[in-house]
Chain A
């Protein structure tokens, strides 16, 4: 229905988000085209999150018992949605002023689109972990995800801010809790059902990222396990879609092989052949820096991005560790990690 503006309901799952929920709700209401309804799912908070959300103007609903996961909280809110479009937003994220309008426009322009997702960039960049994530996102959203969009298959409609046709969410029964990466699960399910997903670079979401190694590890553990669980659930279905199949195949290969290379091969080579092998840890830095600097330039943050590049090298070592660990547990030991741990 090009030309019309279908109504949007915003779902914000929240658990003890008192520090950020007001900013999040404000950023939603201050949109150029705000959603018609804003629902905060107060999933058992003990810090007054629900009251703060209510004061900010959101409708607050509470499950009788905590759902224990982001997927559960979002699905709990789905029956309350009576608009054609549904957006989800993390409770610690703020949006650029036209973000909702941009995603809505993408769904209006393509009637076959089931979901649309945004550019993501960390709100704070103080610690090494936040800075590493900053570079990682500039690289991923400024380069990889844009190419995925060109070829019609963004790998994930990001869980921190996405918009869906409510009809599709109803069809698939909301967000599944069968994996720890509910956004990836939903995206791949939508693809399998014939839906399309769009990445909209002008819509920007700024979440708060983990600022300590412990918090970052908790998040990376969940992501790594979630990815492997989704490959296990969906591999037969996604193999039918050529571009998605290739993206997942190379991601899985790199997740395994590059991680082994970083953590095992390079140290062994260094031991055998001397410090020259250490160059392997930074040899791809120019290739990383080009898209990062370009994306940062558009935000007027080139110096900041360049200064953050070393942090990225540290973060990807942690990435590699958690990927290998998750693979060993899920595939070798067949020990599925299914506890939605607090972290990020």
Chain B
């Protein structure tokens, strides 16, 4: 029996109940629209559409199952087999289940907007600087290790600052993309320089 498994669930919380379910259903429902855009851009495929279509259908079935559950309960209540638990003194003239769904949707919007706002704040204040993560990657990949600085470039990108004579790894990493620093055969100039618009700093 394994003693070595890693985290492997959809999430470590409690699947099913909560805003994650609403989040995934909502994501599945908007996925076709997003995929149309990707198709126009040439970034989609028949395989992707198959998955998108399947998840879209599942989301519709999930919504349908919730509505069916509500209607079933209403039938039981109308036949006197169940008492109405909410004996509604809720405001408005909507079915009770819309309040529950509404609360979940509002929570979902609140949580995602909060995460977005915190992300914006982190970016503005520079707290989300990934220099150390990237520097660690460089240190791990260059045998001489250690003596490496990173220069932060516009738009959150980074470029390595290497001791003189140290060879760059075949593929250097930056925050937003991998920059291939191997010189292209045609020009002999490292593509990294071209991409970030800056010279490598030689600290040697």
- Partner of A167 from the list B1, B5, B171 (CB cut-off 8 Å) is B171
Q: A194-B175, A253-B111, A286-B65 are in contact. Are A320 and B14 (CB under 8 A)?
A: yes
**Interface status of A42 (Cβ within 8 A of chain B):** no
Which of B17, B130, B138, B176 neighbours the largest number of chain A CB atoms within 10 Å of its CB?
B17
> Are A156 and B8 touching (Cβ within 8 A)?
yes
Chain A residue numbers with a CB within 8 Å of B141 are 170-171
Interface segment out of the listed A1-9, A53-61, A234-242, A329-337: A234-242
Does A308 count as interface, using CB distance less than 8 angstroms? no
Of B117-125, B146-154, B181-189, B193-201, the one contacting chain A is: B117-125
With beta carbons under 8 angstroms apart, the residue of A184, A211, A290 that contacts B58 is: A290
Within 8 Å by CB of A181, from B7, B68, B138, B140, lies: B7
Which residues from chain B contact A249 at a C-beta distance below 8 Å?
111-112, 114-115
Residue of A nearest to B171 (CB): A167
B31 CB to nearest chain A CB (Å): 5
Q: Is the CB of B2 within 8 A of A208?
A: yes
Task: Give the contacts of B49-67 with A (CB-CB under 8 A).
Answer: 51-52, 54-55, 58, 61-62, 65-66
Q: Chain B residues near A207 (CB, 8 Å)?
A: 2, 5
Given contacts A170-B140, A287-B62, 14 further A-B contacts (CB under 8 A): A70-B6, A158-B7, A193-B173, A215-B1, A227-B7, A239-B122, A248-B115, A249-B114, A250-B11, A254-B14, A255-B12, A273-B85, A283-B69, A343-B3
Chain B residues, CB < 8 A from A184: 6-7
* Residues of A in contact with B (beta carbons under 8 Å apart): 13-17, 19-20, 70, 73, 90-93, 112, 120, 136-137, 139-141, 143-147, 149-151, 155-156, 158-160, 167, 170-174, 181-184, 189, 192-195, 201, 207-208, 210-211, 215, 219, 223-224, 226-227, 236-237, 239-240, 242, 245-259, 261-262, 273, 276, 279-280, 283-291, 294, 312, 316, 319-320, 323, 342-344
B8 pairs with A237, CB closer than 8 A: no
Interface of B, secondary structure class, is helix
The 0/1 profile, CB within 8 Å of A marked 1, for residues 138-173 of chain B is 111100000000000000100000000000011101
Closest partner residue, chain A, to B3 (CB atom): A342
Min C-beta distance of A10 to chain B, whole Å:
14
B15–A316 contact, CB under 8 A?
A: yes
Q: Contact residue range for chain B?
A: 35 or more
Sample of 30 A–B contacts (CB below 8 Å) = A13-B4, A120-B8, A140-B15, A144-B15, A146-B55, A147-B27, A150-B28, A150-B34, A151-B27, A171-B138, A181-B7, A183-B7, A223-B8, A227-B7, A237-B128, A239-B115, A239-B118, A240-B123, A240-B175, A245-B119, A246-B112, A249-B111, A253-B18, A258-B14, A258-B18, A276-B85, A283-B69, A284-B17, A290-B62, A316-B17
Q: Which residue of B lies closest to A227 (CB)?
A: B12
- Closest approach, in angstroms, between the C-beta of A195 and any C-beta of chain B? 8
**Distance between A284 CB and nearest chain B CB, rounded to angstroms:** 5
A90:B4 contact, CB within 8 angstroms = yes
Complex contact A316–B3 (CB within 8 A): no
- Pairwise interchain contact B5-A316, C-beta atoms closer than 8 A: no
Chain A residues, CB < 8 A from B13:
251-256, 258-259, 319, 323
Q: Known: A92-B1, A194-B173. Is A150-B133 also a contact (CB below 8 A)?
A: no
B93 CB, nearest partner CB in chain A, Å: 23
Contacts of B25 in A (CB 8 A): 287
Residue of B nearest to A326 (CB): B12
Task: Known A150-B51, A344-B2; judge A223-B18 contact (CB<8 A).
Answer: no
Residues of chain B with a CB closer than 8 A to A286's CB: 62, 65-66, 68-69
Once the chains bind, are B133 and A192 in contact (CB under 8 Å)? yes
Contacts of A150 in B (CB 8 A): 27-28, 31, 34-35, 48, 51-52, 55
